[in-house]
C-alpha cells in the first residue's frame, strides 16, 4: 500500500454496519483516545480492528497523522474511516464518533511477546530494534513526531516467528514545525525536553510569567527509543522511582534522574552485552537533544548492520513478572544509594547553638504569651503515645549511619527496636505491612532487610499520622 501524504482522508458518512459486522462486545484493548474492537468485512470475510473515538479536532488530527504514515511495513495500516452517530450503554443520547478501520494485529505487544520467549538474545534485540527504528524513520521523514513510543504501541502482526513489528496509536502524533509544546508522555519513556515543557506549562497555568514559549522536537522519540532498547537488553527501565510504591506517576527522584540523564549498566545484567549496544543506549539517552543520536544515524549504526553476538539475555525473565521487575529496581536502587552515600558518622550541633527557624518562632510566641498571660494557663499538650518513640527507634536503626559498631550489632539493635514497636502498636496495619514486606516473622527477619526502604516507609507512616492528628475538627 502506498499512501499520498498530500491527500486528506475524508470519513465516510454511511453506516459502518453496511460493510462490516462489528463485535461490540469484544475489546482488543484501549488506545489513548478510545477502545478497539474486532470487525469482519462482509464482502471478503477478512478481519479488521475498529478503533472508536469521539468526533473531535484531536481525533481528526490523529486520523490524518496515521493516514500519512500508513502503508509502511512497520506501521499498522489505516484503511478507511466512518463518521457515525452512536449511543453506547449508559449514555443518555447518541453522539458523533469516528470509527477507524485498522489492520488487525494478533501477535501481541512487544514486551509481552518477548516475556514468553525462551532464548531471547542480543541478536534478536538488534533485529527488533531495527524494525522499530525503520518505523520511526518513516515518521520522521514525513516530519511527524509520534510522541508516545512505548512497548504497548508496538504490536506483532501474528504469532509466527517471522511476524513483523508495527507501530500503532497516533493519538499524540503531530507535525514537527518547531512548535511542539504540549507535555504528552508516558512516565518511563519521557524525554527531559518533554518534562521541561510540562514544568513550563504548569508555571503558565499558575500565572507565573515565562519569558518565551518552550518547544521541543521529534528528538523526543529518539529518547523513548533509547529507553525501549535499554529494557530490551536487560528487562527493566533505566529511570525509575526510588520509592516504587509512590502513587505519583513520576515522582521527584525519577524526574531528577531523567533531567540529568542519570542511569547506569548494572554488571549482573549488562556484563555480557556488547559495547556497540551500550554505545547506542548512551547516544540515545543524551540529555542535550542536539547531541542525541538521530534516526538516520541509528539505522546506520554498526550494531544494527553488522554481526551481533548471539548472547542470551535475561530481559524475558524480568518482563514476565512485574513484581520481579519491581524487586530488581528496588535492589538496584539500594546498591546505587550505598555507592552514593558516604560512610561517615552524623555530626549534630547542640540544640542551644543551632539556629532553627521553627524554634525561633516558637520562642517568640511563648514570649508574647507570657506578656499577655491570663489568670489560668492552658493545659500542657499530652505526651506522645509510647508507640511513637518505639517506631522512631526503628527509623533511627534504619537510617542513621553507624548507629552500632558492626553489622551484627546493628541487626540485633534493629530486631530489638522492631520487637518493641510491634509490642506497642501491633494493631497498626501499615506498620505490620511494612514489616511483612521485609519478611518479618514475628521475632526476626527471614531475609536480608532493606533498611532504607523500611525506614522511609515508617517515616511516611509517622508523617501521615501527624497530619491526621492535626486535622481541624
**Residues taking part in catalysis:** 148
As a residue count, the chain comes to 473
Asked if 146 contacts 55 with a C-beta cutoff of 8 angstroms, the reply is: no
Residue 135 contacts residue 141 (beta carbons within 8 Å): no
Quick one: CA dihedral 174, 171, 76, 230, positive or negative? positive
| 231-244 residues labelled b (16+ CB within 10 A) or e (exposed) | bbbbbbbbbbbbbe
Q: Please, are residues 330 and 245 in contact by the beta-carbon 8 Å criterion? A: no
Q: Which three cell numbers stand for residue 449?
A: 532487610
- As a whole number of angstroms, the distance between CA 83 and CA 96 comes to 7
Q: Cα-Cα-Cα-Cα dihedral of 289, 291, 294, 300, to 10°?
A: -160
Distance between CA atoms of residues 59 and 273, nearest Å: 42
Hey, what's the cell of 466? 501527624
DSSP state of 12: B
Could you tell me where the beta strands, DSSP code E, fall in 233-362? none
Strand partners, 261: none
* C-alpha atoms less than 13 angstroms from C-alpha of 308 in its C-beta half-sphere: 25
Strands 144-145 and 95-103: unpaired
Q: Give the torsion sign (CA, 256, 260, 261, 266).
A: negative
The half-sphere exposure of 162 on its side-chain side, counting CA atoms within 13 A, is: 0
64: its cell numbers: 490524518
Amino acid at each position: 500500500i502506498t499512501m499520498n501524504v498530500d491527500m486528506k482522508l475524508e470519513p465516510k458518512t454511511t453506516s459502518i454496519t453496511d460493510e462490516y459486522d462489528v463485535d461490540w462486545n469484544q475489546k482488543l484493548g484501549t488506545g489513548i483516545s478510545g477502545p478497539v474492537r474486532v470487525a469482519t468485512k462482509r464482502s471478503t470475510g477478512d478481519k479488521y480492528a475498529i478503533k472508536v473515538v469521539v468526533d473531535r479536532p484531536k481525533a481528526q488530527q490523529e486520523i490524518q497523522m496515521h493516514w500519512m504514515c500508513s502503508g509502511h511495513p512497520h506501521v499498522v495500516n489505516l484503511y478507511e474511516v466512518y463518521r457515525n452517530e452512536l449511543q453506547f450503554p449508559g449514555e443518555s443520547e447518541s453522539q458523533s464518533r469516528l470509527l477507524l478501520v485498522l489492520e488487525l494485529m494478533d501477535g501481541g505487544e512487544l514486551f509481552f511477546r518477548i516475556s514468553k520467549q525462551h532464548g531471547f538474545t542480543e541478536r534478536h534485540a538488534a533485529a527488533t530494534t531495527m524494525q522499530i527504528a525503520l518505523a520511526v524513520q518513516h515518521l520522521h521523514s514525513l516530519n511527524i513526531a509520534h510522541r508516545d513510543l512505548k512497548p504497548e504501541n508496538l504490536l506483532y502482526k501474528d504469532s509466527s516467528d517471522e511476524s513483523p513489528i508495527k507501530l500503532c496509536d497516533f493519538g499524540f502524533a503531530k507535525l514537527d514545525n518547531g512548535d511542539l509544546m504540549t507535555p504528552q508522555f508516558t512516565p518511563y519513556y519521557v524525554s527531559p525536553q518533554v518534562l521541561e515543557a510540562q514544568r513550563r506549562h504548569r508555571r503558565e497555568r499558575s500565572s507565573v510569567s515565562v519569558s518565551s514559549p518552550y518547544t521541543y522536537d521529534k528528538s523526543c522519540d529518539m529518547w523513548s527509543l533509547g529507553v525501549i532498547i535499554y529494557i530490551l537488553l536487560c528487562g527493566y527501565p533505566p529511570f525509575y522511582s526510588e520509592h516504587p510504591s509512590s502513587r505519583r506517576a513520576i515522582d521527584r527522584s525519577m524526574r531528577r534522574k531523567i533531567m540529568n540523564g542519570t542511569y547506569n549498566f548494572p554488571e549482573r545484567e549488562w556484563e555480557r552485552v556488547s559495547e556497540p549496544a551500550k554505545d547506542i543506549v548512551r547516544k540515545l539517552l543524551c540529555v542535550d537533544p542536539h547531541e542525541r543520536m538521530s534516526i538516520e544515524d541509528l539505522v546506520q549504526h554498526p550494531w544494527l548492520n553488522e554481526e551481533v553476538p548471539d548472547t542470551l539475555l535475561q530481559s524475558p525473565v524480568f518482563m514476565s513478572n512485574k513484581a520481579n521487575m519491581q524487586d530488581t529496581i528496588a535492589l538496584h536502587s539500594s546498591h546505587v544509594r550505598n555507592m552514593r552515600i558516604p560512610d561517615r558518622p552524623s555530626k549534630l550541633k547542640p540544640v542551644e547553638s543551632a539556629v532553627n527557624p521553627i524554634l525561633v518562632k516558637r520562642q517568640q510566641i511563648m514570649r508574647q504569651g507570657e506578656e499577655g498571660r491570663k489568670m489560668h494557663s492552658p493545659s500542657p499538650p499530652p505526651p506522645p503515645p509510647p508507640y511513637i518513640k518505639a517506631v522512631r527507634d526503628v527509623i533511627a536503626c534504619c537510617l542513621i549511619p553507624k548507629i552500632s559498631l558492626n553489622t551484627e550489632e546493628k541487626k540485633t539493635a534493629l530486631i530489638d527496636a522492631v520487637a518493641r514497636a510491634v509490642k506497642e502498636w501491633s494493631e497498626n496495619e501499615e506498620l505490620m505491612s511494612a514489616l511483612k514486606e521485609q519478611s518479618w516473622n514475628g521475632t526476626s527477619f527471614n531475609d536480608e532487610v532493606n533498611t532504607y526502604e523500611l525506614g522511609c516507609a515508617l517515616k511516611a507512616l509517622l508523617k501521615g499520622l501527624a497530619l491526621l492528628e492535626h486535622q481541624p475538627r
